């Protein structure tokens, strides 16, 4: 089975590799700031997995656990989970807070991917 060029699954990033994996990425990156204790975050897991599989050649999808990675969470002033941020060329372009259906998320991402 052939896969699209790029990452086709949701990967986890940390404070230590955020600069490499997100800021230095060639593709636009959707970051979900998440937490294990957050029910809406768990609800988004299948949506993000489907998005990563469908858009793997155009968009990288990653998750950052806010409890385990406070430096990045604080740097981007994330206060609510889930928070989604889209980065392109190392810059945050858009921030969205709260769970949403895949269709709506795709619409919101339409102008950046």
Q: How large is the average pLDDT for residues 2-23?
A: 82
Model pTM? 0.92
> Mean pLDDT of all residues in the chain?
92
Note the pLDDT of residue 6. 52
Note the pLDDT of residue 49. 95
**Which bin fits 85, alpha (ψ -120 to 50), beta or left (φ > 0)?**
beta
Note the pLDDT of residue 65. 98
Note the pLDDT of residue 48. 96
Token readout for 76 is: 């981007």
Residues in the chain: 113
Q: Is the pLDDT of residue 7 over 90?
A: no
Note the pLDDT of residue 111. 82
57 three-state secondary structure = coil
Token readout for 53 is: 């599989």
User: Annotated active-site positions, please?
Assistant: 38, 41
pLDDT tens per residue, range 25-55: 999 999 999 999 999 999 999 999 999 999 9
Provide the residue ranges of all domains of the chain, joining segments of one domain with +: 11-108
CA-based R_g, the chain, Å:
13
CA dist., res. 97 & res. 3, Å (int): 30
Q: Which CATH superfamily groups domain 11-108?
A: Glutaredoxin (3.40.30.10)
pLDDT tens per residue, range 81-113: 999 999 999 999 999 999 999 999 999 998 887
CA dist., res. 90 & res. 22, Å (int): 7
Q: Are 93 and 87 in contact (CB under 8 A)?
A: yes
Please return the burial class of 91, using the count of CB atoms within 10 Å of its CB with bins 0-12, 13-18 and 19+.
exposed
């Amino acid at each position: 089975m052939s896969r699209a060029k790029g990452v086709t699954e949701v990967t986890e990033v940390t404070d230590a590799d955020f600069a490499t994996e997100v800021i230095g990425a060639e593709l636009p990156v959707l970051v979900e700031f998440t937490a294990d204790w957050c029910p809406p975050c768990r609800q988004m897991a299948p949506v993000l997995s489907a998005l990563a599989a469908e858009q793997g050649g155009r968009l990288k999808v990653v998750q950052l656990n806010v409890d385990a990675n406070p430096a990045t969470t604080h740097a981007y002033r994330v206060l609510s989970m889930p928070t989604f941020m889209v980065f392109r060329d190392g810059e945050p372009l858009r921030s969205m807070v709260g769970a949403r259906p895949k269709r709506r998320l795709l619409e919101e991402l339409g102008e950046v991917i």
